[in-house]
Structure 1
Amino acid sequence: MMTSSPSSRRAPRPEVLAAVAACVTVVLWASAFVSIRSAGAAYSPGALALGRMLAGFVTLGAICLVRREGLPPRSAWRGIAISGVLWFGVYMVVLNWGEQQVDAGTAALLVNVGPILIALLGTRLLGDPMPPRLLAGMAVSFAGAVTVGLSMSGGDGTSVLGVALCLLAAASWAAGVVAQKPALGRASALQATTFGCLIGAVTCLPFAGQLVGDMADAPLSATLNMIYLGVFPTALAFTTWAYALARTTASRMGATTYAVPALVVLMSWLALGEVPGLLTLAGGGLCLAGVAASRSRARTRAEVTGSAAAEEGAPPQPRSEKAGGSA
């Protein structure tokens, strides 16, 4: 009887690796909200965005040199440049600014319009499919985000400017994601993230003077949090995001980010001692349930036939390795 050797075992399927990469992204992006609280108290919005992008680019640039990645192909630069300006640059600044104008719950609520915009733009510009499961999952997750936002809203810190900034952040994020998707068909995830980060840093250069001044007065903890934001939620998480985005649709990846509010609630509970109320916990549960629904897929006809045959005692029909949709 022959036994399979370790070398003959199947490698993890691309959709499994993409799902793992998406999980890494949402966990690190959720942790960013906790770090921004510390860094944002000592750094102005533009300075914090610039410092974060510089830390991210230095980290990614070093990795590119070690791996000898080289420059992205010319055909990828348009998407990288647009995403770099809108997502790595404008989004970071206006989100930091908006969170200073409104309470955390309102900011989270408004920014979570982003995945809906990603789905709409992805369908219109990229031809992304919108299966009923994805639509239903996004609706459930958005309801959860609204619940979390309302439960966290203080009701006394909202301004028209803050609302406009948070909505601008959501629109910039959505446009940046949709622009990045075609570029990932030509450039690697590491290339797209590294040079997107560089373009974002260049976009934030007008705040260089503020960064130098804030750094001179900021406590060490705030500066370390800014560096953390650049290395992990930016360099690592944006790379894992790009890896996953290259292997699925923009709409499905956008829906995945609805797990962030639930994780923020959990991390704030563990790291900051902020005990969530029942309404907040219920909203977080809805967010996770919606993400699970949006990332699931309907069973194929071959799977249904095989399952029925197994129940009747008949051997299932062989299924091609290419069957099945993206994660």
Structure 2
Amino acid sequence: MTDQSLSRTAPNERRFLWPLMAALLIVSWSSGFIGIRYASQEASVMLVLFWRTLLSGLILLPFALSIGPRLRPRAIAEQMLFGVMSVFLYLGGFALAIEQRVPTGLVALISDLLPLAIAALSQPVLGERLTGRQWLGTAIAVAGVLIVSIDSLSFGAAPIWAYGLTVGSMLVFAFASVLHKRRRTGHLPVHQSLCIHTLTASVLFGICAMMQGDIAPPLTRGFAIGMIWLVLIATFAAYSVYYTSLRLFPVAQVSAAIYLSPPVTMLWAWALFSEPLTTAMFAGLAVTLVGVWLTSRR
């Protein structure tokens, strides 16, 4: 989807488009857990991320070269920077923190506070000032995330820098999001930018994976299912919907939908892996829904 077609979308059409975009974003963003659950049983996290990004980039490459504007060196360099920030540092930082034994529940909680960081950055960087109602909705959504995560929240014995790494990874992605929104011109179509992002990250993840051992993929059913899920849903769907939404809607409104990822992830886990649902999950889901509604309502 090009900038020209996006710019022709009327405000009323965007208003009715947002519920659909938000639903797609929530479902695809939360689905990353499923692919990781399948694939990480067969390989290290860095190896999983290497093959996820490499396959995504290679699948997109023919379309990126044949459809859309000509890729110029400056545009490629800019998108490579975004790829380092929004894919390698974001996903890789959380993966490294988990390997350093930062509790998974704490890592998930920090990553799910991404919309709060984006909301805080949107005013000084973009001039998108949040209203009092939107800040109230943000606070309520954060409370909902805390309720959902409380059962899995614990503090481990990881080194101090590993805890800081989780916060830093989240802040890097938040900064990349507002920078992406700030660029009023020069946007590449999503399939071209995502191709550059993933191929750039794959090189860096490949180096990390080689430092840990072999980069050959495990030839198992679980790894294959995980890759299909991660590439098609957690990468193509999630990132495409996210970047397209950033061009159409205020960045704080788009990021607020991510607050619903924790409870939806638990619904995925219940449906596919028979993990139990708790009262806290339903309570947190209800609270988060109220917060997202307040933040997104015009």
Q: Residues 2-81 of structure 1 correspond to what in structure 2 (within 5 A)?
A: 13-65=13-65, 68-72=67-71, 79-81=78-80
The superposition leaves residues 168-224 of structure 1 with CA deviations (integer Å, 9 ceiling, x where unpaired) of 221121122122223464223333322222222233231353698254546331243
Q: 1:238 maps to what in 2?
A: 239
Question: Which residue matches 1:263?
Answer: 264
Structure number with greater CO (CA < 8 Å, separation at least 6) is: 2
Per the alignment, residue 5 of structure 2 pairs with none
**Counterpart amino acid of residue 127 in structure 2:** G
8 Å contact from structure 2 (residues 38, 225) kept in 1: no
Q: 2:113·2:259 contact (CA, 8 Å) conserved in 1?
A: no
Offset at residue 251 of structure 1 (A): 1.7
Deviation, 1:239, is: 1.0
SS of the residue aligned with 2:214?
helix
- Distance in 2, Cα, partners of 1:73 & 1:152: 46
Identify if the C-alpha distance between structure 1 residues 185 and 271 changes in structure 2 by more than 3 Å, giving closer, same or farther. farther
Residues 172-211 of structure 1 mapped to structure 2, 5 A cutoff:
172-183=172-183, 185-187=185-187, 188-207=189-208, 209=210
**How far, CA to CA, are the matches of 1:76 and 1:291 in structure 2?**
34
User: How many pairs were matched up?
Assistant: 286
Change in Cα spacing, 1:63 to 1:202, as seen in structure 2 (3 Å) is same
Q: Structure 1 residues 183, 60: closer, same or farther in 2, change over 3 A?
A: farther
Instruction: Give % identity.
Output: 21
Q: 1:90 aligns to what SS in structure 2? A: helix
Q: 1:84-95 alignment to 2 at 5 Å?
A: 84-95=83-94
Residue 141 of structure 1 contacts residue 287 of structure 1 at CA under 8 Å; is this kept in 2? yes
Render the CA deviation track for 1:285-327: whole Å, top value 9, x for unaligned.
Answer: 2222211221111xxxxxxxxxxxxxxxxxxxxxxxxxxxxxx
Deviation of the 1:158 alpha carbon: 5.6
The alignment yields a C-alpha RMSD, in angstroms, of 2.7
- After superposing on structure 2, the runs of 4+ consecutive aligned residues of structure 1 that deviate more than 4 Å are 72-79
The equivalent of 2:163 in structure 1 is 163
Deviates more, 1:208-217 or 1:136-145: 208-217
Q: Does the aligned pair in 2 maintain the 1:47–1:210 contact within 8 Å? A: no
Partners of 1:178 and 1:250 within 8 A in 2: yes
Unpaired stretches in structure 2, ≥5 consecutive residues: 1-9
Kept in 2, the 8 Å contact 1:86–1:173? The answer is: yes
Contact 1:43 1:215 in 2 (8 A): no
> In the alignment, residue 235 of structure 1 is paired with which amino acid?
F
CA distance in 1: counterparts of 2:18 and 2:81, whole angstroms: 24
Structure showing greater radius of gyration is 1
Q: Is the 8 A contact 2:31 2:233 kept in 1?
A: no
3-state DSSP class of the match of 2:248? coil
Give 2:14's aligned amino acid: P
Change (3 A) 1:75 1:184: farther
**How far did 1:102 drift?**
3.2
Match in the other structure for 2:281: 280
1:76/1:293 Cα in 2 relative to 1: closer, same or farther (>3 Å)? farther
- Amino acid of the residue matched to residue 103 of structure 1? P
Cα 1:11–1:70 change in 2 (3 A) is: same
TM-score by length of 2: 0.84
Change (3 A) 1:12 1:57: farther
